[in-house]
Amino acid sequence: MMRVLFAAPDALWPEWAPALTALAPEMELVREADPASIDAIIFAPGGPVSDLSPFVNARLVQSLWAGVERIVTNPTLTQPLARMVDPGLARGMAEYCTGWALRAHLGMDRYAQDGVWRNALTPRLAEGRQVTILGMGELGRSVAAMLRGIGFRIAGFSASGRAVQGAEITTDLSRALSRAEILISLLPDTPQTRGLLDADRLALLPQGAWLINPGRGTVLDDDALLAALDGGRLGHAVLDVFRTEPLPPGHPFWSHPGVTVTPHIAAETRVSTAAPVAVENLRRAMAGRPVLHLVDRGRGY
């Protein structure tokens, strides 16, 4: 019997607890216990545990979210940390990015319902459009696969340079940006990515490019984005993530005609597809086998 602490917000317990215990009857899932008796921790930000140092026997901290920036920087974290790679989350992200990429590609906003017959405004086929994805991890590969299925030409920026089927991968950020008619940012929040899309880098994008950011709000320089939109360099920005969430009502993104705000809904962890991932990792940790999706502390993800 493994004892697992559910260190996540109370609101998550009613849905997660039945799913986890049904999949792993050998697990005792608890919300509080002697820290020394805990074999593993299921964690989400906002829960009851911030000091992980008493959990000296815990073999794994399994995050419920894909983003781990709010835990990987915790100085009390000494246990192995795994991020959530949920197939349902990846599918949701791919659908979100595909929907907005098609809106950009087809020019759906050009057809005002004002009685004017604009039949000269016909879009190119997808094969004539370059989509560039920043960040080619699990989410980036899922997005690339769906967009490639429609016919888009796919390029990807990846620090590792690891090959991805059907995509041209580069480690040269300037090259990646200079060809991005539609730019999708799926980069994590790390010291290296914060403020990465600043004025100089946004200026590298082709005239009229669209930016879709469902990754992390810290990657983007907000003022630089607004200046690029006002100056006509960018055609539109679709933003799902922000430096402050919820986005304050007075923030200029809400009222800018070149910005579409969505409220951090691009991809959600779904219990039905994520619980089996968590259980598999818990079993691996208890058996001393390699854990899936282990976080590299040095890289921050």
CA dihedral sign, ordered 39, 45, 46, 50: positive
Cα(136)–Cα(139) distance, integer angstroms: 7
Q: Which listed residue (83, 216, 233, 293) is catalytic? A: 216
Residue from 264, 270, 283, 284 carrying the catalytic annotation: 264
- Is residue 216 part of the annotated active site? The answer reads yes
Report CA-CA distances (Å) from 254 to 47, 87, 145, 183, 214: 30, 31, 31, 21, 16
**Per the omega criterion (within 30 degrees of 0), is the bond before 246 cis?**
yes
* Long-range pairs, 161-170, Cβ under 8 A, ≥24: 162/136, 164/136, 164/140, 167/133, 167/136, 169/136
**CA–CA distance, 64 with 62 (Å, rounded to integer):** 6
Whose structure tokens read 């794994």?
60
Closest CA to 42 of 65, 23, 70: 65
Q: What's the number of CA atoms in the CB half-sphere (13 Å) around residue 20?
A: 26
Instruction: Please name the residues in contact with 55: beta carbons below 8 A apart, sequence gap of 6 or more.
Output: 5, 35, 36, 38, 41, 79
State how far the Cα of 256 lies from the Cα of 237, in Å rounded to an integer.
Answer: 10
Whose CA is closest to 43, among 22, 74, 21, 18? 74
User: What DSSP string describes 105-150?
Assistant: HHTGGG--SSS---TT--PPPGGG-EEEEE--SHHHHHHHHHHHHH
Count of beta carbons in the 10 Å neighbourhood of residue 4: 26
Q: Is 251 an annotated catalytic residue? A: no
Residues involved in catalysis = 216, 264
